[in-house]
Amino acid sequence: MRPSLGGLTLDHPLLWLALVAVAALIVLRVARPLGVGRAVVHAVPLVLAGSLAASVVTAVGVFAVAGCRGTPPGSVWAQNVADPVGTRCGAAAGVRVLDVARATTLVPVSGPGGEPGSAEGFSPGGGFFPGDRPPPGPVWGSLTDRPGGSATSAWYALPALSDTGSDTAPGAAPVVLAAGNLAAGGGTTLTAVYGRRDGADMATLNRVGLGDDASSPHWRTFPLRPPAGADAVRIEAVDATGAQHGWLAFTAPALARAVPLLDLLPSGTPVALGWQVAFAHPCARPPAVVGGITEPATYAITRAAEPDGPPLAGLADMAWQADRGGVYAHVPRSQSVLALPTVGPVDPYLRVYAFTSPLARDAYVLVPGGRTVSGADAEVGG
């Protein structure tokens, strides 16, 4: 963002010419023997020195004010001012995320307008990649022996505004979790339909597509943003691919509470940190790397390459890529991945993930060993 005065940005050449002219007039008034030409020559370094001093004061002032206000909560400078010795664990105390792993399924609408859902080609309670499981709750998926089809959930009652937050958990939001192919034009669609009960009928107010232009077995969270007047929502899914690679799975709408990241991370749990955000989370313990094996992470705090990008964008760093020898490349392959949305105000680049696995963490014995292989016989990746 460019500095401005009264809407006039400070990079406009006319502004600087005006400043030089004013400085030259001041020089002429103070040192009358000087001519106009020499006054302009003396004015230029004065304007440059003044602009440099003003830039330093402005930068320091803006950062100082932002730090005192704690804005944004995840910034390093804000935490350095509010908590210089890191007793509150840096940005983890200020950043809030939706705890979708403990979300409460919304109540199905009964009575007028509460028609039951239907599914053709979508399997209730299944239809997703078994190695990447969602949190407990109703789920439908099209990863079946006969791929393709459509599904429509029942109507679910949206909570009133007074029910979506409290003093202890502000920023709660209704959400839907989805996995599979959510890319535009990929043959699958996921739509949130918002309605309002009107006597014995349900009036449709709006239809909003849910997607992130990604095809992945990992579960992503999509906060629902109902329009004014909506008191119910249902989810419609279509899989027109007819192929197993184009499957789609989704959960019933649920209410997720916003919690500080510090409260979400159990003490001592291994957290995979992106190098860009590591200094902002001094209490997080990185996974140990011993004998060439990385300890399985239970959470990750990373940084995406673009602001407000798709939920899985934080896993594109080289540390998560197998072909780059990434130290965390095994995590998305061996554990279920759940993308947790952050609650503003927050750094738009920040990404948070939770990982789960049915495998025991400490039930194995590592036996060091080695073998010598001729370079001519060695296979890439072997």
Do residues 164 and 232 both lie within one domain?
A: yes
Do residues 112 and 241 both lie within one domain?
A: yes
CATH code of the domain containing 223:
2.60.120.940
pLDDT at residue 167, as a whole number? 38
Does residue 299 sit within a domain? yes
pLDDT at residue 163, as a whole number? 44
Domain count, the chain: 3
pLDDT at residue 111, as a whole number? 55
Q: What is the pTM of this model?
A: 0.76
> What secondary structure, in 3-state letters, does the chain show?
CCCEECCEECCCHHHHHHHHHHHHHHHHHHCCCCCHHHHHHHHHHHHHHHHHHHHHHHHHHHHHHHHHHCCCCCCHHHHHHHCCCCCCCHHHHCCEEECHHHCEECCECCCCCCCCCEEECCEECCCCCCCCCCCCCCEEECCCCCCCEEEECCCEECCCHHHCCCCCCCCCEEEEEEEEECCCCCCEEEEEEEEEEECCEEEEEEEEECCCCCEEEEEEEEECCCCCCCCEEEEEEEECCCCHHHCEEEECCEEECEEEHHHHCCCCCEEEECCCCHHHCCCCECCCEECCEECCCCEEEEECCCCCCCHHHHHCCHHHCHHHCCCCCCHHHHCEEEEECEECCCCCCEEEEEEECCCCCCCCCCCCCCCCCCCCCCCCCC
Does residue 375 sit within a domain? no
Do residues 190 and 213 both lie within one domain?
A: yes
Does residue 198 sit within a domain? yes
Does residue 381 sit within a domain? no
Do residues 106 and 228 both lie within one domain?
A: yes
CATH code of the domain containing 348:
3.40.190
Nearest to 227 by CA among 266, 201, 196: 196
pLDDT at residue 23, as a whole number? 77
Does residue 58 sit within a domain? yes
Does residue 156 sit within a domain? yes
pLDDT at residue 377, as a whole number? 59
Do residues 104 and 223 both lie within one domain?
A: yes
pLDDT at residue 322, as a whole number? 85
Structure tokens at 181: 């192919």
**pLDDT tens digits in sequence order for the chain, 382 residues long:** 566 666 667 676 777 777 777 777 777 677 666 666 777 777 778 778 877 887 888 788 777 777 666 666 556 666 667 667 667 787 888 889 999 989 999 999 865 555 667 788 899 999 999 989 999 889 999 998 887 889 999 999 998 754 444 333 457 899 999 999 998 888 899 999 999 988 778 888 999 999 898 899 999 999 999 999 899 999 999 999 877 778 999 999 999 999 999 899 988 899 999 998 888 888 899 999 887 888 899 999 999 988 878 899 999 989 998 888 889 999 998 899 999 999 887 888 899 999 998 888 778 888 888 888 777 655 554 4
- pLDDT per position as a tens digit, 179-221: 999 988 888 999 999 999 887 788 889 999 998 988 999 999 9
Do residues 188 and 282 both lie within one domain?
A: no
Does residue 79 sit within a domain? no
Do residues 180 and 308 both lie within one domain?
A: no
Do residues 16 and 134 both lie within one domain?
A: no
Decide which of 28, 46, 69 is a domain's last residue.
69
Question: For residue 59, what are the domain limits?
Answer: 4-69
Do residues 275 and 134 both lie within one domain?
A: no
Do residues 267 and 251 both lie within one domain?
A: no
pLDDT at residue 171, as a whole number? 72
CB neighbour list of residue 83: distance below 8 Å, 6 or more residues apart: 90, 93
pLDDT at residue 164, as a whole number? 45
pLDDT at residue 291, as a whole number? 79
Does residue 352 sit within a domain? yes
Do residues 168 and 56 both lie within one domain?
A: no
Do residues 350 and 228 both lie within one domain?
A: no
Burial 5-40 (b: 16+ CB within 10 A, else e): eeeeeeeeeeeeeebbeebbeebbeeeeeeeeeebb
How many other C-beta atoms are found inside a 10 Å radius of the C-beta of residue 177?
A: 24
